[in-house]
Structure 1
Amino acid sequence: MLVFDHLGITVIDLARGIAQFDPVMTALGFARQDADGSVSWWREGEPELILFPAREAENGAHRHGTVGWQHLAFALASRAEVDRLHEIAVSAGWSAVRDPKPYPRFNDRYYASFVEDDSGIRIEFMHNPPAA
């Protein structure tokens, strides 16, 4: 049984959030489900990701480093997949926080990139194969 069933994320503008998340989630193999006042993506055996509109959008975007959300990391099968998903996200309007690169401070295999959407939601695309 999964420990995490779903992840709900609040965005400033739902239509813009969909425009930014949908290409990424689709590229990851998730199917989209529209609902009244929200949208979600699901894939067999994975937690569902749900976007909700902010109740008070005038409060502005989340600021990385404040209490609350840090980032969500997507584990990918290769460095090429990290590069591909990074490009898809940037093309969909995400801001590149850190371009794809190795992170030897974690280990010599760790390769990742970080992007942030208009609502300040940060995600990481990472590849960290097991040690030989």
Structure 2
Amino acid sequence: MATFDHIGITVDDVPSASAQFTPVFEALGYVRAHDADDLAYWRKTDEPEILLYPAREEGTGPHRHGRVGWQHLAYAVDSRDEVERLHGIALAAGWTEVREPKEYPRFSERYYAAFVEDANGIRLEFLHDPKGWD
């Protein structure tokens, strides 16, 4: 049986990206396990690790949403208040608001989410959907 173990994300500058990711990941319950100029990663019990790697070629970022490659990483949380709290933490850490917290009835009747993007074009979604998949 295969399991999802980790995700690696390429960024222009690992220390700078780590500074943006750390408050968000800590709020999600991750612990920073390693932080250096060439690699940063976070762990959470029973969750895939998240790793940041430096770009192999300078000047190749940021990622452009909608192009081939990364789309976004979504975190399901327990409440709308938690969506709003994480959204605020991300903005305070320098993330850019893509979409403010709001309902998305096209996904489900109770889908509530916010989207943010870091300086590398990496997009995260925080969502609350108590009904789950339709």
Q: TM class by shorter-chain length?
A: over 0.9
Q: What is aligned with 1:60? A: 61
Identity of aligned residues (%): 57
Q: What is aligned with 1:3? A: 3
Distance 2:2 2:33 in 1: 20
Say whether the 8 Å CA contact 1:20–1:117 is kept in structure 2.
Answer: yes
Deviations 1:37-93 (A, max 9, x none): 211111111011011111113112000000010000011010000000000000000
Distance 1:130 1:5 in 2: 27
Q: What is aligned with 1:71? A: 72
* Count of aligned residue pairs for this structure pair: 131
Query: Which ranges in structure 2 are unaligned for 5 or more consecutive residues?
Result: none
Distance 1:66 1:34 in 2: 30
The code of the aligned residue for 1:18 comes to S
**CA RMSD between the two structures:** 1.4
Q: Cα distance, 1:130 vs. partner?
A: 2.2
Query: Which ranges in structure 1 are unaligned for 5 or more consecutive residues?
Result: none
Matching of residues 1-132 of structure 1 within 5 Å = 3-34=3-34, 37-130=38-131
| Change over 3 Å in CA distance of 1:17–1:75 after alignment to 2 | same
Q: Which runs of 4+ in 1 moved over 4 A?
A: none
